[in-house]
Structure 1
Amino acid sequence: MSAIFSPSLMCMDLTHFREHIHILNTRADRYHVDVMDGHYVKNITLSPFFIEQLRKLTDKPIDVHLMAESPQEFLIDACIDAGASMVCLHPEVVQRDVFRIIRHIHQRDCEVGFVLNPATPIAVLDSYLHLIDRVTIMTIDPGFAGQPFIKEMLQKIKQVKEVKEKKGYSFSIEVDGSCNEHTFRQLAEAGNEIYIIGNSGLFGLHQQLDTAWETMKQLFSKETASIESH
């Protein structure tokens, strides 16, 4: 499987929103949108309104990462109505209603993923791994960009890959946090498939976004050239 790159739009320069989306539309595989409520994490970022504006400019898949204390149907539906292709949730806040929520999202013709914080074990997802479309492993604590990579998460990525292959599950594996030239090789070796690229992996590489993208791809190719594709 070829590597998939998903720019984290909370890291982009929003003063150049339209220009940068037009550039990314010819390069990115999909988009990553963080929606934070200020409660689950101490930060407030993007919103369903942002998703709606983004959808007007792209037909790429839009993955929404909901970091909200109570991400029940009203917020989930607001994101889907705005144009989300996938909604990714934290199991800690939806466990009580998890099967109903998964069913509801799929009934809306939207994919559903679950996000594992660094301290959250994969076993939390055991009962419904077969129902979901994505497992995202956080390699930093959620809430803020630019945090240092937590190397212990490489073992978790390997565990997720092993479970996927052993059980024959179809979910994709994604990493959120510090995907850059210093971690590309380790993440690829561990079995990652989708790279969420933010400040260190993309937007901070060059002032011109098209140049930053080419730099990112060159760095990724250099770091992973010797790894056999799986």
Structure 2
Amino acid sequence: MKPMFNPSLMCMDLLNIKEQLQILNTRADFYHVDIMDGHYVKNITLSPDFCKAIRPVCEIPLDCHLMVTTPDDFIEPLAKAGVGYICPHAETINADAFRIVNKIHSLGCKVGVVLNPATPVSYIQHYIHLLDKVTVMTVDPGFAGQPFIREMLDKISELKALKEEKGYGYLIEVDGSCNERTFGDLAKAGTEVFIVGTSGLFNLDKDLAAAWDKMMDNFNKAVDR
């Protein structure tokens, strides 16, 4: 399977959004949109209104990561904004996971679930077959620039083995410190979608097209392509 890349839009140059999206439209596979409420995590970032504003110039799916205490409040606004994926944290939907998953699908969006570093795959075992994507956090959620938690490589391998054994259709995605130092280990463990932020993409060059080329060169070297 061809590796996929999902740039984190909170890391982009927000003064040049349209120009940067036009560069990424022909290179990326998704746009990762972090939505934080200041409660589930202490930071506040992007929003459904941001998604609505940029959607007309996006040629690939918007992938929304809900770091929020009450994800149900965000589902309909995001669906109306035209996003492709809605991805709450497993810990926030435990009481009504099936209803939330079915609601997101019923509104025409795909469903992802995000696992914090300390949350095991077994936490979502009863509905994992319904998911389009499972995201493994390799840092604690809420802030960029944290160190990579290597114990998560085993969790990625577990998701890969389960997917192959059961024939599940979810994508295996990683969020946190995806860069030249980790690309090789992440790919070997079974990562299919790499969320890239400051260290993996945006800080590599002021010219985003050049930064993308450098990222791909780093990736290819890391996986011996």
Q: TM-score when scaled to structure 2?
A: 0.98
Task: Flag structure 2 segments of 5+ consecutive residues without an equivalent.
Answer: none
Partner of 1:102: 101
The reply on whether 1:47 has 2:47 as its aligned counterpart is: yes
Structure 1 residue runs of 4+, over 4 Å off?
none
1:182 is paired with a residue of what secondary structure?
coil
Partner of 1:14: 14
The reply on whether 1:79 has 2:78 as its aligned counterpart is: yes
Partner of 1:113: 112
State the AA in 2 paired with 1:108: L
Alpha-carbon shift at residue 53 of structure 1 (Å): 1.4
State the AA in 2 paired with 1:118: P
Alpha-carbon shift at residue 59 of structure 1 (Å): 2.3
Deviations 1:94-121 (A, max 9, x none): 1111111111111111100110000000
State the AA in 1 paired with 2:11: C
State the AA in 1 paired with 2:147: P
The reply on whether 1:57 has 2:63 as its aligned counterpart is: no
Distance of 2:105 and 2:19 partners within structure 1:
33
Partner of 1:212: 211
1:56 is paired with a residue of what secondary structure?
helix
Partner of 1:158: 157
Distance of 2:82 and 2:202 partners within structure 1:
24
Distance of 1:25 and 1:167 partners within structure 2:
33
Alpha-carbon shift at residue 12 of structure 1 (Å): 0.5
The reply on whether 1:26 has 2:2 as its aligned counterpart is: no
Task: Flag structure 1 segments of 5+ consecutive residues without an equivalent.
Answer: none
How many residue pairs align between the two structures? Answer: 225
State the AA in 1 paired with 2:131: I
| CA root-mean-square deviation | 0.8
Distance of 1:184 and 1:101 partners within structure 2:
32
Distance of 2:128 and 2:29 partners within structure 1:
24
Alpha-carbon shift at residue 71 of structure 1 (Å): 1.0
Alpha-carbon shift at residue 93 of structure 1 (Å): 1.1
State the AA in 2 paired with 1:124: Y
State the AA in 2 paired with 1:48: P
Distance of 1:39 and 1:68 partners within structure 2:
7
Q: TM-score when scaled to structure 1?
A: 0.96
Q: Which residues of 2 match residues 130-209 of structure 1 at below 5 A?
A: 130-209=129-208
1:17 is paired with a residue of what secondary structure?
helix
State the AA in 2 paired with 1:158: S
Distance of 2:220 and 2:138 partners within structure 1:
21
Alpha-carbon shift at residue 80 of structure 1 (Å): 1.2
Q: Percent identity?
A: 55
